[in-house]
Structure 1
Amino acid sequence: MSAARKITKDDILPLDEYIKVRKDRKAALLPRKKKRRAEIGPVATVYFESFDTMLHQIQEMLYIEKGGDEQLRDELAAYNPLVPNGRELVTTVMFEIDDEIRRRNFLSRLGGVEETMFIKFGDEEIFGRPEEDVDRTTADGKASSVQFIHFPFTDEQAAKFSEPGTQVIVGFKHPEYAHMAIIQEESRAELAGDFA
């Protein structure tokens, strides 16, 4: 687990070097990414981000778009806020519905969902704080299909979360999407590594 909390240009491999190790890096990260993923209800998937997942995302964007240093500045600005700061968990939430009409209707009723996401363990319940880059609910109440949510922890909460065997529940308390899921123990242990 990387102890670093901010990705810099020094962490980024040049494109020609990244191409050589890309396949191996993706394969090495896959088992960790699986532990950092949870399905909540029928259409929400939560990805708990980390330094390593965000580093991979930036490298992939540079690989795909080949925008060089100018693109790198934009990618660092976009993805660094999603690297946990040592006392938080950070999620990307995706509401995935293939049918466009059904998706639009669903999201039109989901305004404010980003304010209702929670993590519960023991007698602790932490509500998420949406990423403040843009408003993810429109004025007419339509939610974005992608949400970025931070969960700030106190030192005591991080210690409780990190105790082996602690049952962790993640979910939403939105009237149109009140679903939750239990995080598996191997996932809880992986996420506990985000606390520096």
Structure 2
Amino acid sequence: MNQKHYLAPGDILAPEEYRKIRDESRKKNAERKRQRRIEVGPHVTFYFENYGTMWSQVHEMVYIEKGGLEQIAQELEAYNPLIPKGQELVATFMIEIDDPDRRKRVLGELGGIEETAFLVVGGERVVGVPEADQDRTRSDGKASSVQFVHFPFTPAQIEAFQRPGAEVTIGFAHPSYGHMAVLPEAVRAELAGDFD
């Protein structure tokens, strides 16, 4: 099970060391992300984060932006909150629409969607809590296309989630996007490792 809840500066390789393993690391992270994603409705994909996905994200940001060792602290501050802390699941969800005009229209209808995400496990609803770093719905009601949400679990809900074959539903209670999906067993099993 995943016991690492924070990235420390010592967990981050120097950019020249990361460069040596970057191709293999990116390949492993792509496979990890495939096992941790689920589409909900026609426009939203959830990507559940963990120590490994955030380790890769921080390394990529430092590598691409060439900020060097000085950049590491700000990346850790940004991405550590997205690592599950043992009694929660944490997800990035993306609202993905290729056509720019349609994307603008749909995002304009989805204000507050981040407040309506939920999971259902063992007959109980786990209400999502948006990441509190900033408001991701603008004052005009337009939703951001990238959202971050925490799903805090009780011990009984964790036990129910970890039961092999447990049915887990994820969805939204938004009036303009009331879609749901059942987590495939492989995804449920992978995410079960995020709990202590």
1:60 aligns with 2:81: no
Structure 1 pair 2–24 and aligned structure 2 pair: CA distance change class (3 A):
farther
The unaligned stretches of length 5 or more in structure 1 are none
Question: Match of 1:11?
Answer: 11
Q: Distance in 1 between matches of 2:141 and 2:96?
A: 18
Verify: 1:33 aligned to 2:13, yes or no: no
* Structure 1 vs Structure 2 CA RMSD: 1.1
Query: Which residue does the alignment assign to 1:20?
Result: 20
Partner of 2:110: 110
Q: Is contact 2:91-2:150 (8 Å) kept?
A: yes
Q: Does the alignment pair 1:70 with 2:64? A: no
Deviation (angstroms), 1:124 = 1.2
Q: Is the 8 A contact 2:2 2:195 kept in 1?
A: no
Q: Percent identity?
A: 54
What TM-score, normalized to structure 1?
0.97
> Offset at 1:26?
2.1
AA matched with 1:143: A
Over residues 7-42 of structure 1, what are the superposed CA-to-partner deviations in whole Å (9 max), with x where a residue is unaligned? 011000111111111112222233321110111111
The farther-off stretch of 176-185 and 21-30 is: 21-30
For residues 128-173 of structure 1, give each alpha carbon's deviation from its aligned partner in whole angstroms, at most 9, with x where no partner exists.
0000000011122111111000000011111110000001111111
Contact 1:40 1:46 in 2 (8 A): yes
Q: In 2, Cα distance between the equivalents of 1:22 and 1:3?
A: 24
Q: TM-score, normalised by structure 2?
A: 0.97
Superposed counterparts of 1:118-137, under 5 Å: 118-137=118-137
- What is the aligned length? 196
CA distance in 2, matches of 1:122, 1:3: 24
Unpaired runs of 5+ in structure 2? none
Secondary structure in structure 2 of the residue aligned to 1:114:
helix
Q: Residues of 1 paired with 2:35 and 2:65: CA distance?
A: 28
Partners of 2:107 and 2:145 within 8 A in 1: yes
Output aligned runs, 1:161-172, within 5 Å: 161-172=161-172
- 8 Å contact from structure 1 (residues 2, 52) kept in 2: no
Cα displacement string for residues 86-138 of structure 1 (whole angstroms, at most 9, x for unaligned residues): 00000101001111111111111111111111101221111100000000111
